[in-house]
């Protein structure tokens, strides 16, 4: 094993690890964990997010109705002991439909967030490390995507994606959610490529892709983790918005967006059709945002004032 491979990543990170007089240096990971332990909003968001995931996974077990069942004797009824969230105009159980819709929205959010972060990390690292014409071409492409109205493109492409699986929506949302973070990663990579450990790797003949994979991406991984976490809430909101306007999830599939679209017309007369899916959406996005916000402040305490 070469000396380069034995070099700990913590020693080459962009931030300097904290030290305690007379003791070994504290690694960046332990420093972040110690900050998170004293951040109430992180635990509030984490508990809320875990609760939502567990409810989506097991919430149908105690319920007597499935999302496709019709109760013709209780059509358009308010919440009761039989139907906890009430029923739709055709007798669908809103509780069961909310859980099924939450599952779909969570799957999309939990896949789009990390996928967009991976794209941002790879593209930004390649642009920042290679520089020159590669950097100019990639930045031009990023700027082009940033100025394009993504919602307008979604509307134009919606007829194509209506004939495909909802999985196509995941790649569409991820394809328009990585550009800003890619610019951040590019800037970080440009500051890393002149560091001694990168120069040593080039001097030893390590190829470009290995340097990016082993030395650049690990040093910007904290930014990517934050971006992936914050991207979960953003992706859920994006999917809900598209589905609400009829450009995302299509019937017979159900998501929080389709439930909100179906219930918004009766929000004043039969509020349970709208309030319950809306409340679950707000709670889920808020929990994911609290976790991501706390992670960002733990990694970079100068990113904002201490709000705890």
pLDDT single digits (tens) 23-32:
566 666 788 7
Q: Tell me the average pLDDT across 3-18.
A: 41
Residue 20 in any domain: the answer is no
Q: Which of 13-17, 167-171, 213-217, 275-279 has the lowest mean pLDDT?
A: 13-17
Indicate whether 10 pLDDT > 70.
no
- Per-residue pLDDT, 162: 66
Looking at the whole model, is its pTM more than 0.75? yes
Separation CA 171–CA 220 (nearest Å):
23
What range does the domain containing 225 cover? 52-303
Indicate whether 21 pLDDT > 60.
no
Residue 10 in any domain: the answer is no
CATH number, domain with residue 213: 1.10.3720.10
Q: Tell me the average pLDDT across 178-186.
A: 92
Q: Tell me the average pLDDT across 160-186.
A: 83
Residue 257 in any domain: the answer is yes
Residue 173 in any domain: the answer is yes
- Per-residue pLDDT, 8: 41
Residue 208 in any domain: the answer is yes
- Per-residue pLDDT, 307: 52
Q: Tell me the average pLDDT across 145-168.
A: 75
Q: Which of 12-26, 100-114, 221-235 has the lowest mean pLDDT?
A: 12-26
- Per-residue pLDDT, 99: 93
Residue 296 in any domain: the answer is yes
Confidence of residue 303 (pLDDT cuts 50, 70, 90): low
- Per-residue pLDDT, 258: 86
Residue 228 in any domain: the answer is yes
Average pLDDT over all residues of the chain: 82
- Per-residue pLDDT, 17: 47
Rg (CA), the chain: 23
Confidence of residue 132 (pLDDT cuts 50, 70, 90): confident
Per-residue pLDDT reduced to its tens digit, 48-83: 999 999 999 998 888 888 888 888 888 888 888 888
Confidence of residue 163 (pLDDT cuts 50, 70, 90): low
Indicate whether 46 pLDDT > 90.
yes
Residue 45 in any domain: the answer is no
Domain count, the chain: 1
Confidence of residue 282 (pLDDT cuts 50, 70, 90): very high
Indicate whether 222 pLDDT > 90.
no
Of the chain, the percentage scoring pLDDT greater than 90 comes to 27
Q: Between these two residues, 291 and 18, which has the higher pLDDT value?
A: 291
Of the chain, the percentage scoring pLDDT greater than 70 comes to 85
- Per-residue pLDDT, 301: 66
């Amino acid at each position: 094993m070469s000396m380069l491979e034995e070099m700990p990543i913590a020693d080459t990170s962009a931030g300097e690890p904290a030290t305690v007089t007379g003791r070994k240096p504290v690694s960046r990971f332990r420093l972040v964990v110690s900050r998170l332990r004293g951040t109430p909003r992180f635990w509030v968001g984490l508990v809320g997010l875990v609760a939502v995931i567990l409810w989506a996974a097991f919430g149908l077990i105690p319920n007597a109705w499935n999302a496709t069942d019709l109760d013709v004797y209780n059509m358009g009824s308010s919440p009761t002991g039989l139907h906890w969230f009430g029923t739709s105009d055709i007798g669908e159980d809103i509780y069961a439909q909310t859980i099924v819709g939450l599952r779909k929205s969570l799957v999309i959010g939990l896949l789009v967030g990390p996928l967009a972060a991976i794209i941002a990390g790879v593209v930004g690292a390649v642009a920042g490390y290679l520089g020159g014409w590669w950097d100019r071409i990639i930045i031009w492409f990023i700027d082009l995507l940033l100025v394009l109205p993504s919602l307008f493109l979604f509307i134009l492409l919606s007829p194509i994606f209506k004939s495909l699986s909802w999985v196509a929506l995941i790649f569409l949302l991820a394809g328009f959610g990585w550009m800003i973070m890619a610019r951040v990663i590019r800037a970080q990579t440009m500051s890393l490529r002149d560091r001694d450990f990168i120069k040593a790797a080039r001097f030893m003949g390590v190829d470009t892709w290995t340097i990016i994979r082993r030395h650049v991406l690990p040093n910007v991984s904290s930014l990517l983790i934050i971006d992936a976490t914050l991207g979960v809430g953003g992706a859920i909101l994006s999917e809900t918005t598209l589905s609400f306007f009829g450009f995302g999830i299509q019937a017979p599939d159900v998501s929080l967006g389709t439930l909100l679209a179906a219930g918004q017309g009766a929000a004043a007369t039969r509020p349970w059709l709208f309030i319950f899916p809306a409340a679950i959406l707000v709670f889920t996005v808020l929990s994911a945002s609290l976790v991501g916000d706390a992670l960002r402040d733990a990694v970079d305490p100068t990113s904002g004032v201490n709000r705890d």
